[in-house]
Amino acid sequence: MALIETKSNPLLSQIFRRTFIKSYLSIKKISRLKKSIELEVIDDSLVSSIIFSLKEKTTEEIPLMKVFNHISGGKLLVNSPAIYLRQYHQGTVYPGSDFIQINNKAVWHKTQYPHFGKLLPLDYHLVRKNENIINVDKVKKIINVTNGFSLCGVHSNVWSHFLVQYLPKIDCIKKIIEITGENLTIIIPPYHDQNIREILNALISDIKLINILELKIDEIAKCDKLYYVENTSVLADHAIYLSPTDCVIPQFVMSYLKNSFLTNKLLFSSFDGQKIPQFRKLFIKRVVSPLSPLSNLRILENAVEIEKFFESEGFEFIAPHEYSLEEKRKLFSEASIIAGSYSSGFMNMIFCQPDTKFLVFMNYQRIYELYLAKLSEAFKVKLLAVIGIDNQPESIHSSYTIPLKEVINSYQTLMNDNE
């Protein structure tokens, strides 16, 4: 029987590839399910005790994104639950996952989100969810810990998530030791971002009675006593469509970033709070690893002509992850305007001076991902999003094209905004 030559028939090639991948993933999931363990998801009040509160229940303001020729402003008021440091007995931590295992039970805080039903959980060790029962990978390598404090979770090693979901937790470490007087093991995921390592090392450098346990993805930590704080902000793991409440960053997190993180002399020894000249124009290059599932998604398809325009305007092209923390802060604090395609690089606006201008290109659905809108309000910078024509309007990861004329007009509008 002759084989179909898929090279000359791209449609058949695509169908074959999708069918093969779907079959492979289905077989792999069945195999994982057979080897998994079943846990009942329960309320954490049944298996934990509260040590102290990080924040009480609040109502948080979420500003809408300002979008050129589309949205001028607006706000939502969203309820945000209290956040506690809790202690669990015989609690097991999985790197890359948000659930905690306690014997044959599990605590999974994000199931309490009102919009959990629309989210797509990306917990690495999650095999299946069926109502209040989850199946998780049976991990063979278990590391026993006496007293543990976890910084692990979904996206815990990603810069944008680390800043608002995990970084504020580090403040609890010294308090735990003061309360207990016992040694404490800080359980962390594999950090690939050197800025995250730099931050953690500096913030714990003067704390005694601690050690670090970095879990590999095929390891779990079982703690006699586990001290745990649920994520300090709500950022959806993933979703089929976006909603403004997929991102809720409480005010106490913004206060922590401004008043504790940015003023830390161990991290930023050369900054004294004085205003410095803003002479740079920066263009952030969106850099995605070829191995990432997002490598061919959310692409600005006419980026070449747009980048040529900004090059002619005197912009420097940068990749923020290539700089040390202090270099990054210096670079962004010297900028008067920053442009580029939406990426985690824009979270570095926390290092900018008030009234710095941001021009961000994105596909349509991303205007409802309000992380940048919240940061821009808190740090008093001017943010303007620009949208164009999406290739797949139904997808949150659609690639897109923005006419160069639209880019130039939005740039001139932002540059003339001197209010």
pLDDT less than 70: residues of the chain: 1-29, 288-295
Which amino acid appears at position 388 of this protein?
G
Residue 325, Cα to own-chain centre: how many angstroms? 18
Query: What predicted TM-score, i.e. pTM, was given to this entire model?
Result: 0.89
Q: At 100, which amino acid appears?
A: I
d(CA 168, CA 156): 12
Predicted local distance difference test score (pLDDT) of residue 34: 86
The single-letter DSSP state of residue 10 is H
Question: What crossing angle do the helices spanning 404-415 and 303-312 adopt, rounded to 10°?
Answer: 40
Angstrom distance (rounded) from CA 109 to CA 42: 10
Distance CA 61, CA 251 (A): 8
d(CA 213, CA 410): 48
State residue 20's pLDDT score. 45
Q: Rounded distance, CA 354 to CA 370, Å?
A: 19
Q: What is the pLDDT of residue 26?
A: 56
| pLDDT at residue 294, as a whole number | 56
Residue pair 315/339 in contact (Cβ under 8 Å)? The answer is: yes
User: Over the Cα atoms of the chain, what is R_g?
Assistant: 23
